[in-house]
Every structure is written in C-alpha cells, then in structure tokens.
Amino acid sequence: MLEIPFRHFTRYSEIISVFIRHGLGYWIMEQIPLPLPGFGRPMHHYSEADLARIGSRLREALTELGPTFIKMGQLASNRSDLFPQPIIRELTKLQDRIRPLSFEEVRQVIENSLQQRIDAIFQEFDPVPLAAASIGQVHRAILNNGEKVAVKVQRPHIRKVAEIDLEIFKTLVVQFEQRTEWGKRYPIRTILDEFSKTLLEELNFTNEGHNTEKLAQFNKQGVFIIPKVYWEFSNATVLTLEFISGISLYQIIEAKNSASPYVEFDLSMIAKQLSQGLLQQILVDGYFHGDPHPGNILILPEGKIALIDFGILGTITDSIRYQLTNLIDALIHGKDVRLLEVISQMGIVPESMDRAQFLEDILVLRSKHLLKSRGKKGIIEAVQDFFNIINRHGIYIPSEFVLIGKSLLTLDGILYQLDPDLSLVELVRPYSRKLLWEKYSPKHFLARILRSSKPHPSQASHNPCSFRI
C-alpha cells in the first residue's frame, strides 16, 4: 500500500493533479505492470517522437511544480545513463523562470538571516536582481567599507518545501522499485539519495562558499579569477561574494553567432586558457566546477577568465581518474573486453545483461564515430551514443563519472563555439599519458603494495603480498 503522511497529502495531491493535467498520468501508469491491455510498456520501447513528447510534457509539469522539481529535473538532465536522449534533451531546456522576489522579501531574508539591518551592512543595495533562479537570486551591492559585492539571497521557505517533496519521493521510490521495470533495473534509492544530497547541499549557501574557497585554493597558477567570500555576511541562506565585473561567455558566443563578435577578445586564446584551466581542475587537482556553462564564465576586459556560481563542486579520487583514463584508452583502442571490465568497476552491471550484445553495440559505436574523423560534433554524438548504450543495457554509472562527462561535454561545446579547430581530445591527451605513467610508475606500484600490506581494522589477519593493480 502507498502510505502518504497526512501532513504531505495536500502537496501529494497537487503533484498528481499537475502530472495528470499535463497528460502524463497514462504514461506513468504504463510504467507499472497491471493486468490491463496497453500497460507495462518500458521507456526504451517508445519511439523517439513519443519520448520527445513525453519529455516536453514532463518539462512543463516540473516547471509548474516549482523550484524543487525544476532543480531535480536539471540534475536528472545530467543522467544520460538513466534516461533516453529525447527526454534528456527536453530536461536540459528547463529554465529557472521563477518570479523574482520583491525587494521587501529580499530585505526580510537578509535581516532575519544576518540579524542586522540591511542599511547597517550595505552602503548601496540594488533592488533589481542581476539574476533570479529557482533557489535564489543575486543582487549587486556595495558594503559600507566601499567594496563591491554580489549578494545571493535564498527564496524563503524553499528548504521546507524541498524536504517535503523529497520525503514524498522517498515514499514513491518503494512503489517504483516494486512495480516498474525502470525501478528494477537501477538502484533508484541510491539515485534519489544522490539527487537529495546534491539538492540539499545547494540549498545551504555555506557549502557554496566553501566550494568557492576550495577552487581558489587549488588555483595556484592563477588561471581563473575566483571571487572572495565575505563570511561575516554569509550563512546558509545568504552568500556575499566579491563582485566581478565582466561579460558572460554566453553573451560573447551569442554575439559571435550573430556576426557581431566582441573584436577586443581573442576567442582562440580564451578557448585554450579555459580548457587548460578546467582540465587542470578535473584531471590534476581533483576538484572542479560542476556546472561550467557559458553563463557561469565571465571574461574580463584584459581577457582574464572568472568563474562564478559554485553550488556544485565535482570531486575526483585517484581511483576515479585512473578508471576514467582506462575507459578512454579501452574505447579508443578497441579493447572491448577490457572496456566491459572497466565499466563493471565504475558502475553496477546487471547480472541479466547480454554481454555479447553490449560488446557488439560498442563495436558499432566505434566504427561509427572513432574509426574515422567526424570532427568535434562527432565527439559529442559519440559520447551521447555511449550513454544510450549504457541506458539500454541497464548499467548504472555513479554520479561522479556522469558529472565529469557532463562537464567535459559542456567544455567541448564551448570550444566548438569559440575555436572549431581546437580539439578537446588533443588537449586531454597529455593529461591522459601523464595519468597512465603515474599509475604504472614504480613509485605508485610500491605505494599500492605498501597500502595493501596494511591490515584493515576489521581484519584479524592479512596476506602481506596481496595487492591489486
């Protein structure tokens, strides 16, 4: 039985009515195997056109249901391993078209949160937001000491609404696990836990402040300008950062595409510096901007690059870096059996998976994309086709790998707009060689032996010669 707590019943009814109003009731019922004609059809049996229509209606429903659902849809749009591409394409169109908070609402949030009058903190405060999104909005201001800042203010009560929605999701997860083919193919409790963790972290602006400082700490070469955090005027619902004056990369790309580019910028140089900086974050530092779209990248008059909005921070361990390197190496060089081994290490491969068909699909992908030069558009299509194969075979990939893939795809799309002759594959190659050398170097080999020779606290005995490469 589906048991919804009474305190959630109103919100639950609202969710159901919105999905039905957008024509999604029948589709949801089709995911649940009932002894009725037409029911029980899994998602991968739909046509591309049907999935596109479902994705469009889903996007509209999520938008109407508000900030929590918009953010969850945006997070889901990163999971090409879980959802078909036509639905993914629609979810990527989700926009934070939310009514901006009034200045009085902003004032109340700031004063209640910081326990100070707004005029005691700021010499000036622009009541018109620079940007308004589902979680909060940003205002330009000047502190009483004359320093220019950007103040991010969280929407009131959004965390409470999000927590109710997440509790409803957890109740529904049990039904999806028991009744749907999708729920049986994937560890959806784990998926929901990942989504919930990411969403709740974004709702705590203190985390974003720490993310900002973490990336600044690793920005030793000064490739990027990272804003300073004003902790005395920041907490979970208000974040005050150094204001950086620049032109968003989105505006520059739009101007270039409209045949009126910003002639004062060297777009090729920007492309090289941006790619080198982000690859340094991903493949060397182990901490990277989790959402490097053009709107979060500012170009300053002297051509320097600034990053903003650090709500999502990607983290990479040495193990993940080595698995990623092995995956790329196996895919490019046709090591099919090794590829399946690496994917098994990276994610959850169902026992029922047809391994022979999986390897055949990979062979088709490689002959289509990798055995001949198809340009940068071909690289993006190859990655999308790879995730289609992952989705079709019910393989679950942890969010860390998906976030890396999404960030690299975003970067590749930016490079295509700025400098079509610049190849992300060629830019990655030196890092890949370095990682392979590091993994198989005598120093690393010895370190693995020493680590494996130490007994785990839970082990009563150990074999000092047992280790894995």
Each residue of 173-202: pLDDT tens digit? 877 777 766 667 777 788 888 888 888 999
Task: Tell me which range, 35-39, 106-110, 200-204, 323-327, is most confidently predicted by mean pLDDT.
Answer: 106-110
Interval 300-348: pLDDT, tens: 988 899 999 998 899 988 888 878 777 777 766 767 778 778 888 777 7
The pTM assigned to this predicted structure is 0.80
- 183 and 39 inside one domain: yes
Binning pLDDT at 50, 70 and 90, where does residue 80 land? confident
Q: Identify the pLDDT of residue 408.
A: 84
In angstroms, the Cα distances linking 56 to 15, 142, 245, 367, 400 are 17, 42, 36, 32, 27
pLDDT of residue 270: 93
Residue 153 DSSP class: E
Residue 215 lies in a domain: no
Lowest-pLDDT range of 3-17, 233-247, 281-295, 328-342: 328-342
pLDDT attached to residue 106: 97
Do both 192 and 259 map to the same domain? no
231 versus 361: which is more confidently predicted? 231
284 shares its domain with 401: yes
Residue 163, classified by CB atoms within 10 Å of its CB into exposed (0-12), middle (13-18) or buried (19+), is middle
Grade residue 263 by pLDDT with cuts at 50, 70 and 90.
low
The verdict on residue 118 lying in a domain is no
pLDDT at residue 37, as a whole number: 38
Which structural domain, as residue segments, surrounds residue 85? 6-97+158-202
- State how many domains the chain has: 2
Task: Tell me: pLDDT of 459 over 70.
Answer: no
Q: Could you tell me which residue, 324 or 280, shows the higher pLDDT?
A: 280
Residue 424 forms part of a structural domain: yes
291, 188: one domain? no
3-state secondary structure of 141: strand
In a domain, 124, yes or no: no
Which range scores top for mean pLDDT: 74-78, 327-331, 462-466? 74-78
Task: Answer yes or no: is 256 within a domain.
Answer: yes
User: Is the same domain home to 448 and 371?
Assistant: yes
Across 41-50, 230-239, 243-252, 427-436, the highest mean pLDDT is recorded for 230-239
User: Among candidates 117, 128, 120, which has minimal Cα distance to 144?
Assistant: 120
Same domain, 376 and 460: yes
Residue 428 has a pLDDT of 78
Same domain? For 287 and 429 the reply is yes
Cβ burial of 103 (10 Å; 0-12, 13-18, 19+) is middle
76 vs 38, which has greater pLDDT?
Answer: 76
CA nearest neighbour of 67 among 167, 140, 163, 3: 163
Residue 126 lies in a domain: no
In a domain, 15, yes or no: yes
Burial (CB count <10 Å: 0-12, 13-18, 19+), residue 13? exposed
**Average of per-residue pLDDT values in the chain:** 81
CA triple 404-182-15, angle to 5 deg: 90
Residue that terminates a domain, selected from 137, 168, 202: 202
- The residue that leads in pLDDT, 2 or 7, is 7
Instruction: Work out the pLDDT band at 457, boundaries 50, 70, 90.
Output: very low
Contact 412, 376 (CB under 8 A): yes
- Give the N- to C-terminal CA distance of the chain in Å, as an integer: 48
Q: What is the pLDDT of residues 340-396, one digit of tens each?
A: 788 887 777 888 888 889 888 888 887 776 655 445 555 666 777 787 888 788 888
Please give the positions annotated as active site.
291
Q: Which residues contact 22 (CB under 8 A, 6 or more apart)?
A: 57, 58, 60, 61, 64
Q: Cα 3 to the chain's mean position, in Å?
A: 32
Stretch (H or E) spanning 307: strand 305-307
pLDDT at residue number 3: 62
274 plus 179 within the same structural domain: no
Res 117: pLDDT = 96
Same domain? For 321 and 468 the reply is yes
* pLDDT tens, residue by residue, 200-229: 999 999 999 999 999 999 998 888 999 999
- Give me the pLDDT at residue 283, please: 84
Residue listed under structure tokens 């182990």 = 286
Residues 297, 373: one domain? yes
